[in-house]
Structure 1
Amino acid sequence: MHTKRIVITGGPGSGKTALIKFLEQEGHFVMHEISRDVTREAQEQGIDQLFLEQPLLFSEKLLEGRLKQFHQGEECTSATLFYDRGMPDVTAYMDFAEITYPDSFSAPCLKHKYDAIFVLPPWEDIYQQDNERYESFEQAEKIFDYLKKGYEEYGYHVHEVPVGTIKDRVQYILDKLKTDY
């Protein structure tokens, strides 16, 4: 059986993490976001915002972690596996921040493909900044555009998940998976 690898992505404050948690509570297999872990580890080492201070190192750690998650997905026995962000998020964020990166960052994004991409648009009503989310809402809107464009540049058809309740958003995703995949 081939496990379908489904990426749920979106800029900060889009409701992505809540949606992923809901999917998991409903019995779906998920791979959780790792960027907050990378940020916290750096903070414990005295680096307040690793992405801002050492963006290539931060991005390299994210890409390594997401590639590891991709390989861990090979052991999944479920029909679907949801990822809270995928490898192309890394290059999309660097493009947003206008950070030059080597071609080696794109190679795993081209080699290891997901089956479907769902992007959540920024949602001002639920947006909040915190210690790990330092972007403004305006920046979140731009990040959304870069994410969408970034996945499309890797050859993906990107589904934009409408704003709404978590249940409605999950149903949109599950319905798309039934009809399109």
Structure 2
Amino acid sequence: MEAKRIVITGGPGSGKTVLINYLEKEGYPVKHEISRAVILEAQKEGVEQLFLENPILFSEKLLEGRLKQFHESNDCAAPVLFYDRGMPDVTAYMDFVNVHYPTNFSETCFENKYDEIFVLPPWEEIYEQDNERYESFEQAEKIFDFLKKGYEDYGYHVYEVPVGSIKDRVDYILNKLKAKI
């Protein structure tokens, strides 16, 4: 039986990575976000902000890596596999910065479907900027809107995870999944 592919997404500073790490600590298999690795690799090559300098190249690298993660779920024996972001995040971010992208980006998103999508809203109390997170909180709010709409445009029902303790957020997700798996 193939694992159900569950995406946890949200704008920067929404608590996504903390939630993914908690799920992993609780024994759930996860696929971690790859954008920081892409950013750090570009910085080693002298490109400070690859997404800002060459959004298509950055997005191609993300889409390729996330597609690889998607196919790796075929080897997962667990009933669910959590992803820290999915392929539609790529096109949502491109839409956010108003950059036209090749049609194969959308085709890849339509052809490789996840099972459930959970989006975390912006949360100002926990938001912090850092070397890889350069967006303001106001931009994070707009990114959230683009992410939610982006997934919906690919035909997904998107669950918005309420702000709250990590346990409350995980319980919300797991309770929604119990009805589906």
Q: For residue 146 of structure 1, what is the amino acid of its counterpart?
A: F
TM-score by length of 2: 0.99
* 1:72 pairs with 2:72: yes
SS in 1 for 2:101: coil
Secondary structure (helix, strand or coil) at the match of 1:106 reads helix
Match of 1:30 in 2: 30
Partner of 1:6: 6
The residue number in structure 2 matching 1:109 is 109
Counterparts of 1:112 and 1:52, CA distance in 2? 27
Q: Counterpart of 2:144 in 1: which secondary structure?
A: helix
Distance of 1:157 and 1:94 partners within structure 2: 21
For 2:179, what is the secondary structure of its paired residue?
A: helix
In 2, the alpha carbon distance for the partners of 1:37 and 1:99 equals 22
Contact 2:2 2:73 (8 Å CA) reproduced? no
State yes or no: 1:157 paired with 2:157.
Answer: yes
Q: How much does 1:54 deviate? A: 0.5
Corresponding residue for 1:144? Answer: 144
TM-align CA RMSD:
0.6
Q: Give percent identity, aligned residues only.
A: 73
Alignment TM-score, normalising by the size of structure 1: 0.99
**Partner AA of 1:120 in structure 2:** L
Query: Per-residue CA shift, 1:116-151, capped at 9, x if unaligned?
Result: 000000000000000000000000000000000000
Once residues 17 and 27 of structure 1 are traced to their aligned partners in structure 2, the CA distance between those partners, rounded to angstroms, is 15
CA distance, structure 2, for counterparts of residue 179 and residue 122 of structure 1: 26
Q: Match for 2:35: what amino acid?
A: S
CA distance in 1, matches of 2:105, 2:5: 20
Counterparts of residues 68-107 of structure 1 (less than 5 Å): 68-107=68-107
Offset of residue 2 of structure 1 = 2.8
Report the CA distance between 1:180 and its aligned residue.
3.8
Structure 1 runs (4+) greater than 6 angstroms displaced? none
1:25-57 deviation digits (Å, cap 9, x = unpaired): 000000000000000000000000000000000
**Corresponding letter in the other structure for 1:81:** L
1:82 match: secondary structure? strand
Structure 2 distance, partners of 1:10, 1:74, is: 25
Alignment match, 1:41 = 41
Unmatched runs of 5 consecutive residues or more in structure 2: none
Tell me how far apart the structure 1 counterparts of residues 22 and 104 of structure 2 sit (CA, whole Å).
Answer: 34
Question: What is the CA–CA distance in structure 1 between the aligned matches of 2:159 and 2:110, rounded to whole Å?
Answer: 19
